[in-house]
């Protein structure tokens, strides 16, 4: 039961961290200055949320192991775990692609996170509830910003519409994983099928505005992230993110 | 006993006054008290506990703020200082002091509106009527909901044409 809570915290932390690391690739490369700033602001929020989840996970891990010589920290959890130990959604690790692919990914994950945090705010664990309450306020901005971009691109020019459709075709099979409970999510009080229903509703509303037809909701879906089985992209992102700590162990700012 | 309580109250008040000297590294005209991020000050024997809360989860200024609090208190002779980061209740711009809002405006940043109109999650939310900190015109428009720091949005005045930061409601 205790291990489930730690694994669930790591799942939330990893998903936020990896999406944050991915989005950070836009820093200095956004299509216009204001949007570069917007996506990096969102990235910073995701990083902050990841830190809160890691810090709490580290506290619980240290309590449970009782090995004061081998204390874990938010940094060791982020920088010193291997690919198989990361539990993030596959969606979060996919390449940044073009602008359409990045905003659609933020939109899919944001709507999911928003619904999840609304539920987690009522969690009996006070710290989880507090992190969710804090994260929700920020996520509301992410959902609105990315939703507006989905509409703008879908209902924009022929090219923006085509790019959004390409992004949708690529990302869609990675959305199903959000709603399939891993072992650590069973009996944690979150009703994933209710969240799936609301998620589909929100996505449908925005797609209608964007003049994009809803993909097949029963299509075959990818899975594995929550179990630590990742796409070929994961190793590269970890290599880049963890390089410094692996090469120069314990280096600090 | 009663005297001891009074003594503690006085000590706490002294600490609140010291905290007036700690400013936000990103918006140096604001003290951390103006921002409303100090949630509690408690004294227990020789221990001083300060509870602070971040404006945004990823606010990079938090570590520096905690370090500055420690420095100010150490300079005043306190030794056992514990700084606790709390997340709930989540920080809101409603906690910003009136003095803080005035200082922001004088600094060229539009302060958060008293009655936020668009703290909702609706798509294409209508532009909030934000007053230009330079010429006081309400004839302004939003350029982006995200600005130079996590807590600000970008606006431009249609009257004096000056772009400005808006400390967005949260």
Burial class (CB in 10 A: 0-12, 13-18, 19+), A138: buried
Convert the pLDDT of each residue in A188-211 to its tens digit: 889 999 999 999 999 999 999 999
> What sign results for the dihedral spanned by CA atoms A151, A152, A158, A161?
negative
Average pLDDT value over all residues in chain A? 96
Confidence at residue B2, expressed as pLDDT on a 0 to 100 scale: 73
Same domain, yes or no: B72 and B36: yes
> For residue A253, is pLDDT > 80?
no
Residue B124 touches chain A, beta carbons under 8 Å: yes
Exposure of B75 in the CB half-sphere (CA atoms within 13 A) = 10
Joined tokens for residue A156? 């924009």
Confidence at residue A163, expressed as pLDDT on a 0 to 100 scale: 98
Distances (CA, A) of A16 to A50, A112, A215, B50, B127: 5, 12, 25, 29, 29
Same domain, yes or no: B86 and B138: no
Which chain A residues touch B121 with a CB distance below 8 Å?
114, 140, 143-144
Question: Which among B57, B123, B154 has CB closest to A144?
Answer: B123
**What is the spatial distance between Cα B19 and Cα B12, in angstroms, rounded to a whole number?**
11
Average pLDDT for runs of 10 along chain B of length 170: 80 95 92 96 93 93 94 95 94 93 94 67 71 94 88 93 91
CA proximity to A47, closest of A14, A6, A8, A79: A14
Write down which residue in B91, B109, B139 finishes a domain. B91
CATH number of the domain residue B42 falls in: 3.30.300.130
Contact predicate A91/A105, CB 8 Å:
yes
Confidence at residue B120, expressed as pLDDT on a 0 to 100 scale: 57
Question: Is A44's CB within 8 Å of B58's CB?
Answer: yes
Same domain, yes or no: B115 and B40: no
Same domain, yes or no: B46 and B77: yes
Confidence at residue A196, expressed as pLDDT on a 0 to 100 scale: 98
Confidence at residue B116, expressed as pLDDT on a 0 to 100 scale: 56
Question: Is B88's CB within 8 Å of A130's CB?
Answer: yes
Which chain A residues touch B56 with a CB distance below 8 Å?
44-45, 48, 138
Considering the domain boundaries, does residue A253 fall inside one?
no
Under the banding of pLDDT at 50, 70 and 90, the label for residue A108 is very high
The strands making up B109-110's β-sheet, listed across from edge to edge, are B109-110, B163-167, B152-157, B140-144
Same domain, yes or no: B21 and B66: yes
Chains A, B: CB contacts within 8 A come to 81
* Chain A residues near any Cβ of chain B (below 8 Å): 34-35, 37-38, 41-42, 44-49, 51-52, 114, 126-127, 129-131, 133-135, 137-138, 140-141, 143-145, 147-148, 151, 206, 209
Q: Which residue range(s) make up the domain with A139? A: 2-247
Other C-beta atoms closer than 10 Å to the C-beta of A7 total 18
ipTM above 0.90, yes or no: no
Which chain A residues touch B59 with a CB distance below 8 Å?
48
CATH number of the domain residue A225 falls in: 1.20.1260.10
Which chain A residues touch B127 with a CB distance below 8 Å?
none
Convert the pLDDT of each residue in A12-33 to its tens digit: 999 999 999 999 999 999 999 9
Q: How many domains does chain B contain in total? A: 2
> For residue A125, is pLDDT > 60?
yes
**What is the spatial distance between Cα A216 and Cα A221, in angstroms, rounded to a whole number?**
11
Convert the pLDDT of each residue in A57-97 to its tens digit: 999 999 988 766 788 999 999 999 999 999 999 999 999 99
What is the distance in angstroms between the Cα of B33 and the nearest Cα belonging to chain A?
20
> For residue A152, is pLDDT > 70?
yes
Mutate to test the interface with B, among A53, A132, A137 (most CBs of B within 10 A): A137
Q: Which residue range(s) make up the domain with B107? A: 94-167
Q: What is the pTM of this model?
A: 0.93
Convert the pLDDT of each residue in A154-193 to its tens digit: 999 999 999 999 999 999 999 999 999 999 999 888 999 9
Q: How many domains does chain A contain in total? A: 1
Confidence at residue B159, expressed as pLDDT on a 0 to 100 scale: 96
């Amino acid at each position: 039961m205790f291990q489930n809570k730690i694994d669930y915290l790591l799942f939330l932390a990893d998903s936020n961290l990896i999406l944050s690391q991915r989005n950070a690739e836009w820093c200095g490369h956004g299509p216009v200055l204001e949007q570069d700033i917007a996506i990096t602001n969102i990235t910073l929020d995701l990083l902050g949320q990841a830190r809160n989840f890691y810090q709490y996970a580290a506290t619980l891990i240290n309590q449970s192991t009782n090995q004061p010589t081998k204390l874990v920290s938010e940094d060791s959890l982020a920088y010193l775990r291997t690919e198989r130990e990361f539990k993030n959604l596959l969606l979060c690790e996919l390449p940044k692609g073009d602008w359409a692919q990045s905003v659609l990914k933020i939109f899919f994950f944001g709507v999911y996170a928003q619904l999840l945090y609304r539920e987690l705010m009522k969690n009996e664990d006070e710290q989880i509830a507090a992190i969710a309450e804090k994260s929700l306020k920020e996520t509301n901005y992410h959902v609105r910003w990315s939703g507006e971009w989905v509409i703008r691109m879908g209902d924009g020019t022929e090219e923006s519409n085509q790019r959004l459709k390409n992004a949708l075709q690529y990302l869609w099979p990675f959305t199903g994983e959000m709603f399939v409970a891993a072992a650590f999510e069973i009996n944690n009080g979150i009703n994933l099928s209710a969240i799936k229903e609301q998620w589909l509703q929100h996505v449908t509303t925005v797609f209608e505005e964007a003049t994009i037809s809803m993909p097949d909701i029963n299509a075959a879906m990818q899975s594995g992230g929550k179990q630590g089985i990742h796409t070929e992209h994961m190793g590269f992102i970890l290599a880049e993110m963890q390089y410094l700590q692996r090469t120069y162990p314990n280096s600090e700012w | 006993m009663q005297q001891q309580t009074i003594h503690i109250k006085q000590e706490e008040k002294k600490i609140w006054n010291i905290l007036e000297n700690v400013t936000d590294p990103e918006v140096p005209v604001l003290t951390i008290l103006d921002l409303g991020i100090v949630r509690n000050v408690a004294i227990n024997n020789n221990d001083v506990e300060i509870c602070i809360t971040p404006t945004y989860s990823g606010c990079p200024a938090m570590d520096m703020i905690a370090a500055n609090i420690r420095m100010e208190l150490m300079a005043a002779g306190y030794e056992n200082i514990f700084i606790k980061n709390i997340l709930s209740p989540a920080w809101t711009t409603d906690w910003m002091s009136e003095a803080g809002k005035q200082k922001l405006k004088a600094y060229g940043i539009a302060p958060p509106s008293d009655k936020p109109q668009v703290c909702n999650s609706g798509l294409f939310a209508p532009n909030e009527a934000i007053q230009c900190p330079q010429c006081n015109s309400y004839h302004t428009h939003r350029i982006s909901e995200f600005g130079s720091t996590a807590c600000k949005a970008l606006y431009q005045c249609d009257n004096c044409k000056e772009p400005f930061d808006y400390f967005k409601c949260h």
